[in-house]
């Protein structure tokens, strides 16, 4: 079952269970997928699982930033709601890699690409994104790649 079908099935289940938080979060996911679908239609391509994983990762990041902002502003009830949404979003993301697994993946990508200097960082990041979308935070991986290349 592809990601889109999985999310649609979960949306129906949330409706039946009358789970308002899950339902609203799944509707947001569906809306984001449909937006991307419309954008890709003009290019002549369709939304795949990698695109859905990218959307989910972006949504998790947005909510994490919101949690920080709400906590700084003393709005703990809103921060808690964002955390609930993060938990729902993470149900559809693959398992996050550990620090050791990320180190190994970076080393493997460097070897596969044949990277020798910091100039090859883009190639390494591209290889990692194609293989590990949704499994690692690429913002945190960038400095690790730089460290291993220098």
Tens digit of each residue's pLDDT, the chain (150 residues): 688 899 999 999 999 999 999 999 999 999 999 999 998 888 888 888 888 888 998 999 899 999 999 999 999 999 999 999 999 998 888 888 888 888 888 888 888 888 888 888 888 888 888 888 778 878 888 888 888 887
How open is the CA angle 134-124-106, to the nearest 5 degrees?
A: 65
For the chain, what's the residue count? 150
Domains of the chain: 3-90 (1.10.1510.10), 99-149 (1.10.10.410)
Q: Identify the residue whose tokens are 């009358």.
A: 18
Q: What is the 3-state secondary structure (H, E, C) of 65-104?
A: HHHHHHHHCCCHHHHHHHHHHHHHHHCCCCCCCCHHHHHH
Q: What is the DSSP letter of 149?
A: H
């Amino acid at each position: 079952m592809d990601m889109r079908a999985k999310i649609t099935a979960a949306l129906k289940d949330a409706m039946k269970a009358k789970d308002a938080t899950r339902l609203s979060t799944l509707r947001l996911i569906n809306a984001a997928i449909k937006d991307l679908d419309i954008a890709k239609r003009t290019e002549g391509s369709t939304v795949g699982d990698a695109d859905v994983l990218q959307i989910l990762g972006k949504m998790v990041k947005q909510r994490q930033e919101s949690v920080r902002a709400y906590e700084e502003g003393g709005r703990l009830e809103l921060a808690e709601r964002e955390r609930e949404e993060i938990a729902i979003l993470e149900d559809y993301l693959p398992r996050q890699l550990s620090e050791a697994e990320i180190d190994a993946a970076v080393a493997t990508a460097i070897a596969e690409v044949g990277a020798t200097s910091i100039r090859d960082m883009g190639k390494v990041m591209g290889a990692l994104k194609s293989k590990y979308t949704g499994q690692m935070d690429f913002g945190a991986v960038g400095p690790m790649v730089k460290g291993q290349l220098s």
